[in-house]
Amino acid sequence: MSEAHTENLPPLAVVVVNWNGRHDLEDCFRTLHDTGYPGLRIIMVDNGSEDDSIAWTEAHYPEVEIMPTGSNLRWAGGNNYALRRLRDESYPGHILLLNNDTLVPEGSLRRLVTALEEDPSAWAATPRICFASDPSRVWYDGGRVGHYTGWIKHHGIRQLAGKLPMDSRYVDYGTGCALLLAPGLCLRIGLLDEQYHFYGEDADFSLRITAAGGRIKHVPKSLVLHKVSSSVGRQSPRRAWLRSRSHVRLLKTHWPRHWWLPLVASQAVFLAGHSAWNLWIGKPDTAFAVWKGALDELVDRPYREELKTKPGDS
């Protein structure tokens, strides 16, 4: 990329929500610092950490802006905290929502911002995301939404990145792990919905983008590495309950009632599969929680305090 092109890059702010994530911050901030993006603004929203995240960041990365919330606002609330501040100061640039357990290779931010900047129909953009433990395998290569089934999944998960196409394309949803927002997006569609206690916030936000007439562009030539296990994780009953609730909330919010007949059938299969898996691995409490979360959301049962997300779960 030419020096002239580099100098013409628009302003970019990266928002990193953190809760007791000191062990991940070094890799995240180091790679952001080394990306070479001119004038990059890095913001850490600290959700009431009890470790030394704030002190360590102040000592080692004084250029990082720290926004302490004083409590755990979860993923959506933490990001909204920064988005409101940026909105109030009329920040003119792009905003990247980025997990703290990520690494950003040099050039990735330039490619992602340039792709979004050159496409006025796109209101958000996502990079290809690979496993940090195995960068040859994909964790996210675009998000799919089954409009009749209600199934939401990552394209290309666990596939070899070298066998997947590199052309940019439009996708149904962008993962909140690394989601680039065009300037003024939140003025168009609002902030993230904080009523999602665990999962679903990014899918909800993406569906609101497309409903308002925008598009989400996936840019495989931009790469982010995510520190997530490549094996299928085992959920606690609380996580399974919260995840089912969030998914049903998403369906209630975005799917018209005349689609609900095929939707109910496909979701029953989906829930049955998750429940059967947990029974198979000897977790009957989690298997029960999968169904209970869905039913509790259907009848709008109030959240029980002991099942609310603990700090750091989202």
pLDDT greater at residue 231 or residue 174: 174
Mean pLDDT computed over every residue of the chain: 90
- Please report where in the chains the tokens 């989690």 appear, as a residue: 286
Measured CA to CA, the distance from residue 305 to residue 271 in angstroms comes to 24
Give me the percent of the chain exceeding a pLDDT of 70: 92
- Distances in Å between the Cα of 288 and the Cα atoms of 76, 241, 294 are 27, 9, 10
pLDDT of res. 261:
79
pLDDT of res. 149:
86
**What's the mean pLDDT in 62-86?**
97
Runs of H (alpha helix) within the chain: 3-7, 22-34, 53-60, 74-88, 108-117, 185-189, 201-211, 237-254, 260-280, 284-298
Cβ atoms within 10 Å of 133's Cβ, excluding its own: 12
**What's the mean pLDDT in 188-201?**
92
Q: Is 163 left (phi over 0), alpha (psi -120 to 50) or beta?
A: alpha
- Is the pLDDT at 1 greater than 80? The verdict is no
CB-CB contact of 94 with 10 (8 Å): yes
**What's the mean pLDDT in 19-28?**
96
The pTM assigned to this predicted structure is 0.91
123 band by pLDDT with thresholds 50, 70 and 90: very high
Which of the residue ranges 40-54, 88-102, 136-150, 252-266 would you say has the lowest mean pLDDT? 252-266
Measured CA to CA, the distance from residue 67 to residue 78 in angstroms comes to 9
Measured CA to CA, the distance from residue 84 to residue 137 in angstroms comes to 35
- Residue 166 CB contacts under 8 Å (≥ 6 apart), including other chains: 220, 221
234 band by pLDDT with thresholds 50, 70 and 90: low
pLDDT of res. 6:
53
pLDDT of res. 19:
95
pLDDT of res. 257:
82
Q: pLDDT, tens digit, for every residue of 180-192?
A: 999 999 999 999 9
Give me the percent of the chain exceeding a pLDDT of 90: 71
The strand pairing partners of 103, in sequence order, are 225
- Distances in Å between the Cα of 122 and the Cα atoms of 127, 154, 226 are 14, 19, 24
- Is the pLDDT at 170 greater than 60? The verdict is yes
305 band by pLDDT with thresholds 50, 70 and 90: very low
Cβ atoms within 10 Å of 252's Cβ, excluding its own: 13
- Is the pLDDT at 270 greater than 70? The verdict is yes
CB-CB contact of 186 with 92 (8 Å): no
- Residue 245 CB contacts under 8 Å (≥ 6 apart), including other chains: 197, 198, 293, 294, 296, 297
